[in-house]
Structure 1
């Protein structure tokens, strides 16, 4: 942690001089990069929901919780089976809106497509969607057994998908691995993300093979309290690629990061890296995740006393403003005294 100034110019961190904002009493932190946000559910309450309304709600929630980049899981096969053509239309509309509004939504909203390793029929549509909408993350989900994923037909199918993903530059992995053998099988086809492993064995195998490990934030905090698998702490303490994610969103990630600090597991810079720099590195987003000249200006302004998010900047634009921070920003002509809509944006040139 440092007491110093950082400038923002045209969406990037830069050297000043610029008009200054005094943010004494706040933590100025890189925006949260959540690799697994809340699942998109088009049939909440039993009825199809509006795609635009659903995504607007997700944006509203993300920016208010300091998330500047997030992936929303979308189950590819389950959605198509839910309501035939209607579900497929919802799916295509969601992907289209997220691709078109990525730079305007107030947070970089992306999709994580979750596919079954045994779903052979949807491969063509999946690859077409990846090409059309620029999807950059696919997770094999459904927790099939090691015997199931190593069957000849499934193995060939996975290898074909992996080759296509590599060509398209898609990052892909598995979710819920139960054994080291299962993780090794996925690693052999290039699935380099081990998401939410069931126990230490697949996580340790992933680390040994240089793959990324994405842990559920709640399980890590439970381990720190002595109520879960203590071996999980070894992964977050290592200098290898390990990140935290939470379907509960940014607020929960903030609580877990500071919970790790309070329990003496690690200092704040290392805890926060699990929510920002490391997930960005896993997804090869080299322009974000930490504060440095020339990088994308994603910032979270956190009150040191209440630990409440009071301002968020996404690519240098103000996307959320609340509490005492409203007065801190008010004197600059580029800002109105209040931002009534959490997803309202404004240009900014400032120092912290």
Structure 2
């Protein structure tokens, strides 16, 4: 672990930028005071905490059936996370009737690989299970997976095209989705129809499962909330996180009830939802955001925080809090997310002129370092 003092660089602390030196020792901030490192031309910020990201999929399965070296995929993912300034990451894995990379079999492989690799990498890798609400036959297996792999965060999704199914029409992109699942289009459609027709059983089944997860202390959230009533129903089950609400109504309902609101960083960078929902920028501007998550693109959180500053929506301290302290609180991690004495030494070093992340320190250990800054530490 590093034992040093960072000097001559602005430090982003909770109260704002500070020119005071920053000491690191034993994996924590504010102790030690070993070797002095001159960081003139650079600045230091809290490490990014990513509450929801599935960018790991490209490492775990770059092509269907082409590679099954899951452990090496997790290692590559950890390296990418560090290069993007992410020091803690919740890897969001589906547990769904959709099959393929979203099915239970693949999920078990992911959970096992992450559990195996996590102790060997510097970035703190955590698991999120994304459960499809109508996958009733998968509920028992999901609860078993939560217990087996110590999963502390479960989010509920519903990707069934209910209106189309109710009207007896084929959903869009049926053939492509069926191929990904390993089924014929006919079999895939029959499966969706069967799940849709069991809709009356879903609420009670969710009530029971959520009660079980609550007893285990699992953080729960709903995904793609559209209405205040829908958010209230999830809250009643103990799901106090609203991930990627699709409307202002749902986000406002979450805020008024004190729920956590997670928005997609790529949406902020792009300035609009790719699915035509409410813009995350609009919600941030309304104060309806507690955390920005990578969603599917790990470079996005750092860029999104700065985008909020560029557009005048937030001051930099507030903007960076959305990718550090906010998501840390959501995940129940009180030992990180801000630069304060006694907390984990999770830090990123950014080049002032370009705002490029040049080094990441996770738990007092170098996770990533590139370019001129490396010479400052070695020299």
Once the two structures are superposed, the pairs formed by residues 173-212 of structure 1 within 5 Å of their partners are 173-212=221-260
CA separation of 1:94/1:20 partners in 2, compared to 1, >3 Å: closer, same or farther? same
Query: Counterpart in 2 of 1:264?
Result: 312
Q: List per-residue Cα deviations over 1:306-352 (Å, max 9, x = no partner).
A: 21111111100011110111111013xxxxxxxxxxxxxxxxxxxxx
Matched, 1:67 2:86: yes
Q: List per-residue Cα deviations over 1:55-111 (Å, max 9, x = no partner).
A: 1221121111111011122111247x4399xx7554334212322433431211122
User: Which of residues 119, 122, 126 is equivalent to 2:138?
Assistant: 122
CA separation of 1:236/1:242 partners in 2, compared to 1, >3 Å: closer, same or farther? farther
CA separation of 1:209/1:215 partners in 2, compared to 1, >3 Å: closer, same or farther? same
CA separation of 1:316/1:83 partners in 2, compared to 1, >3 Å: closer, same or farther? closer
Matched, 1:77 2:96: yes
CA separation of 1:266/1:29 partners in 2, compared to 1, >3 Å: closer, same or farther? same
Question: Would the aligned equivalents of 1:302 and 1:311 in 2 still touch at CA under 8 Å?
Answer: yes
Q: CA deviation at 1:38?
A: 2.6
CA RMSD between the two structures: 2.8
Q: Secondary structure at the match of 2:49?
A: strand
How far, CA to CA, are the matches of 2:197 and 2:317 in structure 1? 39
Matched, 1:17 2:8: no
CA separation of 1:103/1:216 partners in 2, compared to 1, >3 Å: closer, same or farther? same
TM (norm. structure 2) is: 0.78
Matched, 1:45 2:63: yes
Once the two structures are superposed, the pairs formed by residues 1-352 of structure 1 within 5 Å of their partners are 1-41=17-57, 42-47=60-65, 49=67, 50-78=69-97, 81-82=99-100, 90-143=106-159, 152-221=200-269, 229=278, 233=282, 235=284, 238=287, 242-331=290-379
Unaligned runs of 5+ residues in structure 2 are 1-16, 167-195
How far, CA to CA, are the matches of 2:277 and 2:250 in structure 1? 16
CA separation of 1:104/1:46 partners in 2, compared to 1, >3 Å: closer, same or farther? closer
Q: Secondary structure at the match of 1:36?
A: strand
Q: List per-residue Cα deviations over 1:168-201 (Å, max 9, x = no partner).
A: 1111111111222111111111111110111111
How far, CA to CA, are the matches of 1:237 and 1:6 in structure 2? 34
Query: Counterpart in 1 of 2:4?
Result: none
How far, CA to CA, are the matches of 1:279 and 1:210 in structure 2? 15
How far, CA to CA, are the matches of 1:98 and 1:83 in structure 2? 15
Question: Would the aligned equivalents of 2:243 and 2:262 in 1 still touch at CA under 8 Å?
Answer: yes
Q: CA deviation at 1:164?
A: 1.4
Q: Secondary structure at the match of 2:313?
A: coil
Question: Would the aligned equivalents of 1:242 and 1:278 in 2 still touch at CA under 8 Å?
Answer: yes
Question: Would the aligned equivalents of 1:34 and 1:249 in 2 still touch at CA under 8 Å?
Answer: no
CA separation of 1:134/1:209 partners in 2, compared to 1, >3 Å: closer, same or farther? same
Give the structure, 1 or 2, with the largest relative contact order (CA under 8 Å, sep 6 or more): 1
Q: Secondary structure at the match of 1:57?
A: helix
Query: Counterpart in 2 of 1:347?
Result: none
Question: Would the aligned equivalents of 1:179 and 1:201 in 2 still touch at CA under 8 Å?
Answer: yes
Q: CA deviation at 1:219?
A: 2.9
Pick which of 45-54 and 302-311 moved more: 45-54
Q: Secondary structure at the match of 1:275?
A: coil
How far, CA to CA, are the matches of 2:29 and 2:298 in structure 1? 23
Unaligned runs of 5+ residues in structure 1 are 332-352
Q: CA deviation at 1:241?
A: 6.3
Q: Secondary structure at the match of 1:218?
A: helix
